[in-house]
Structure 1
Amino acid sequence: MAMRLKDIASHAGVSISTVSRVLNGEPGPSEETVLQVRKAIESSGYLSKRLAVRKKQPKRDGIKTGNIGLVQLYEGNRSHAELYVELLRGACAALSSEGINVIVGQANAMSDLPPAILNRNVDGLLLLGSPVRGGEMETFLGTYTSVWLTSHNPNGEDDAVLAGNEKVGRVAAEYLVEGGHKNLAFINPDVDHAVFCRRGDAFMFAAQQKKVKVEMHGGKCYELDEKGLPNFGHLEAKLKPVFERMMNKKNRPTGFFIPNDLITAISYRILQSLGIQIGKDIEVISFGHELTYLAGLSPRPAMIDSGAELIGRRGVEQLLWRLCNPDQDRTVEVAIDPHIVPSETRREVGIKNYV
């Protein structure tokens, strides 16, 4: 029969709540009591990882409450749940290894913030999503030591750990040029989106350095529904004329960089409706590595992996460093190198020359 908390408590001569405190590394039990509980667990052969005794973590400078907040601001990442989960996974793993609790929240307004953050029961914040645009929430969050895990750092005064957007654009151009493409295109679904523009500018610059022609296409294609998600029908209706104009040209592009996997999925649908054979007539490289959008595409495009889990982990490291070094007055921005997963066509037939 499996050993239960009740049995361990009886064997150690303590209460069930005391056993729970010992197992979770909580303060209260004396050293003698902790040893009694540990001996009871060892003698019982109780090996559940869930009830493994945690070693006490040494105190760190700047950590007083033992809590860090991770807050998704507004609805910016609702259409990128896969990336958000990877960021969260990395951050939670890094904080757990340091013996620090994570308080997760999603906030559209001040009242949405978790009570622990409102009551100043966290030592610092990891922030992601759309920037705070004025008002009391911006003022309040500005009183915390924070690290941004996206490029939407509104004032540039906080540290940030990001996907290296300039390098993303450069590696996308290099990949397509290496594949033999002479005419490239960048598809920007939102010309006011700073991140897309930075990736596109770097893409164009890198391609021009290789003496390759680049076209920049797009516009204001985004329209959010009542849940804060992109209106897919609106996106497709706005993007279709863009592709129609491109694909009817004599010297049409054959290599496409699309800076968002959701847009890539919609673009496949449009291109195939126009009779374009992806992998034969054109090649696509997409940013995000979100298989939620790309798994069903055939052939799958080349994918740029942002390293979301590593961004989460590195964000924790940077926040802990900043909490320990509050007098360092220089802002730190860490860029994680992108990694390319080649397209299915490239993996199967290798590099080919596109006319």
Structure 2
Amino acid sequence: MSNTKVAQALGVSEATVSRVMNNQPGVSKSTAQRVREMAAKLGVGSRAHHSSLEGIRYNTVGLVVLSADAFQRFSQAYHQTIAGVEDALRSKGVEMIYARASEPSQLPPRISAGEVDGLILAGTHPDPATLRVIEKLPQVWVCSHREDDCDMALEGNHAVAQLAADYLLGRGHISLAAISPLASHPAMRARLEYFEYLVTRQNASVKIISCDVDETLLEQTDVEDDPLRRLAEVVDGQVEEMLACEPRPTGIMAANDMVSGMIYAALQKRGIRPGIDIEIIGSEHDGPALSGLYPRPATIDIAAFTMGRRSVEQLLWRIAHPNEPHAYQVVVKPWLVHGDDINESLS
């Protein structure tokens, strides 16, 4: 009967009122606003609305990538994170504005004007001027380590390193290496540093082989200047450096699964059997990157889709609690995904 009163007072259908009160799409913003105002006037409320969408005014959230991440273009995990954000917002009936903005002029007008309820942000090296434009909006960073005090939803990079170290050490490797072509990437750096700490604590040897390629490399679209081929050349050189180590590592942690595939190619070119002579574990559970590899290496699923959804939950909480002084980090626990088990001894 409550929805009936609201519908009769506004001259709209009960179905329209029901959609608005249950945060479902299909109703114009102006009508939804009128329904909510009348519902408040009549003392009619949606428990779901008040518990999870308190503070929502524009029914819109921005998802903004504030700087180019060298792995974004090719990373399945990145796209799964975005899909998680979209899915969570859709389930709440909240509109999403997606943008890439490396400077203030690239921000959508509604975001620049503050006409959104909050922001999901990503990017490893954001422009300070752009951050100043949006600093007053509720925001949650996803997949991006930040040194300042802010809400974040993160992959558990220390847990990724722990799983990789436990896996390789548990399989009898005592000489290990870690390879990354992007040393300054926050997630990759965190994984490698903690991996090194864990391995040395177990009295095993570890060689960290990392370098910093130009992060604009993977943003290039020139077919004749294939960025992945150029990155693979960097990894090939890192594998050459690793093979010259004494003792030669028999287990490798790759920065992610895309790098795992490049390590496979570099080893095979030298007559070394990946998965048999040298074992590799990657991360991010990137199906396309791993699909052509045999034996398929172990990897670590960072729960990217869940991380995207959790960033939305944290943002809605922040919107509803604007005066909460403490920042919160939501860390999604990763898990090990075993690869093919080849019944041959490591050489």
Say which of 171, 176, 183 aligns to 2:168. 176
> What residue is the counterpart of 2:232 in the other structure?
236
**C-alpha offsets along residues 151-205 of structure 1, whole Å, 9 cap, x if unaligned?**
243x522200000111111111001111111111011213333322211121112
Per the alignment, residue 85 of structure 1 pairs with: 79
Instruction: Find the aligned partners of 1:226 and 1:175 in 2 and give their Cα distance.
Output: 30
Matched, 1:197 2:193: no
Counterpart in the other structure of 2:313? 317
Q: Which runs of 5+ in 1 are unaligned?
A: 1-13, 32-54
Tell whether 2:328 aligns with 1:335.
Answer: no
Q: Select 1:112's aligned residue among 88, 106, 109.
A: 106
Q: State the 1:226 CA deviation.
A: 8.2
Given candidates 55, 66, 69, the residue that maps to 2:59 is 66
> CA–CA distance in 2 between the matches of 1:172 and 1:317?
29
Cα gap change, 1:160 to 1:274, in 2 (>3 Å): same
The partner residue of 1:97 within 88, 91, 105 is 91
* 1:67-92 alpha-carbon deviations (Å, 9 max, x no partner): 11111223215334422321122112
Contact 1:125 1:144 survives alignment (8 Å): yes
Equivalent residues of 1:182, 1:354 under 8 A apart: no
Pick the aligned partner of 2:216 from 203, 221, 224.
224
C-alpha distance in structure 1 between counterparts of 2:145 and 2:335, whole Å: 22
- Paired positions, count: 310
Greater displacement, 300-309 / 189-198: 189-198
C-alpha separation in 2, matches of 1:191 and 1:225: 14
Structure 2 Cα separation of the partners of residues 120 and 167 of structure 1 = 37
Rounded Cα–Cα distance in structure 2 between residues aligned with 1:228 and 1:262: 17
In the other structure, the counterpart of 2:284 is 288
User: 1:157-168 maps to which residues of 2 (within 5 A)?
Assistant: 157-168=149-160
Q: Compared with structure 1, are the counterparts of its residues 305 and 243 closer, same or farther at alpha carbon in structure 2 (3 Å cutoff)?
A: same
Partner SS state of residue 96, structure 1: helix
Match of 1:214 among 183, 199, 206: 206
TM-score (norm 2): 0.80
Aligned to 2:141: 148
Alpha carbons of 1:234 and 1:96: their partners in 2 closer, same or farther (altered >3 Å)? closer
Cα distance change of structure 1 residues 122 and 175 upon mapping to structure 2, 3 Å threshold: same
The alignment yields a C-alpha RMSD, in angstroms, of 2.9
The offset of 1:224, in angstroms, is 3.0
Q: Distance in 1 between matches of 2:244 and 2:338?
A: 27
Gaps of 5+ in 2: 1-11, 36-45
> In the alignment, does 2:227 pair up with 1:255?
no
Name the CA shift for 1:268/1:221 in 2 (closer, same or farther; >3 Å). Answer: farther
Q: What percent of counterpart residues are identical?
A: 31
